[in-house]
Amino acid sequence: MVPFQALLAFGVSVDAACPGKKSGDVCPTAVHQSTGHQTYSETRGHNFALNATFDEIDPTKYDGLVIPGGRAPEYLAMNDSVIDLVRKFSNSGKTIASICHGQLILAAADVVKGRKCTAYPPVKPVLIAAGASWIEPETMAACVVDGNIITGATYEGHPEFIRLFLKALGGTITGSDKRILFLCGVSFCFQNLLE
């Protein structure tokens, strides 16, 4: 959801599609938290409304593909239509940006052989088995570019992941010398989880 919204904010036209769903359908999301545990925790996220119908997607009409992470890639990697779609993007040399568990789909599509990749560390054996050259993430914000493939370790790398994807599409992010305060608060219903 974050890459989708960030790309929209930068003026990129973005379609979101899911196998078996059509435009207007909703995909529930999950929020991952990787601090304080041996692995990440997962809680219910927002409902994400799709704006494209998967069965109507024509890869020739797009300049790039974003494969978000989370748990969905675990089952999407077994979907022949998804694999075919990813191969079409790869074979045409279009930029593919994949983060976290998304690289399970890249491995299943057989598009990482001989490519430098990073991912959420438990994905490492799958990438190596698919012939990728594993790059150990120094931090969970790490991203790697190899040709038309951009990989990120986890959601912590969203800023760099999005910057690299926009750069690959010919865009730029110039930033600003301004400093911003981002005001946060803890929802009352989750306060007890922090104590």
Q: Taking a C-beta distance cutoff of 8 angstroms, is the pair 114, 96 a contact?
A: no
Residue 181 confidence (pLDDT): 84
Task: Give the active site residues.
Answer: 100-101
Long-range contacts of 170-173, Cβ-Cβ distance < 8 Å, separation of 24 or more:
171/10, 171/12, 173/10
Read off the pTM.
0.89
**pLDDT for residue 91:** 98
pLDDT of residue 43: 77
User: What pLDDT does residue 99 have?
Assistant: 97
- Give me the residue label for tokens 């430098």: 116
Measured from the Cβ of residue 100, the count of other Cβ atoms closer than 10 Å reads: 28
Beta carbons of 172 and 166 less than 8 angstroms apart = yes
Element of type H or E holding 108: helix 103-108
**How far apart are the C-alpha atoms of 57 and 55, rounded to whole Å?**
6
How far is Cα 162 from Cα 159, in angstroms, rounded to an integer?
Answer: 5
pLDDT below 50 — which residues of the chain?
Answer: none
DSSP 3-state helix, strand, coil percentages of the chain (rounded to 5)? 35, 20, 45
Q: What is the pLDDT of residue 176?
A: 86
Calpha distance 143→42 (Å, rounded): 22
CA distances for 42 relative to 32, 39, 122, 140, angstroms: 5, 10, 16, 17
Q: What are the helix and strand counts (H, E) for the chain?
A: 6, 8
Architecture of domain 2-194: 3-Layer(aba) Sandwich (3.40)
| 129, two tokens | 């088995």
pLDDT attached to residue 187: 62
Task: Output the CA torsion 98→103→106→111 (10° steps).
Answer: 90
Q: Tell me the H-state helices in the chain.
A: 2-9, 72-76, 80-91, 103-108, 124-129, 158-168
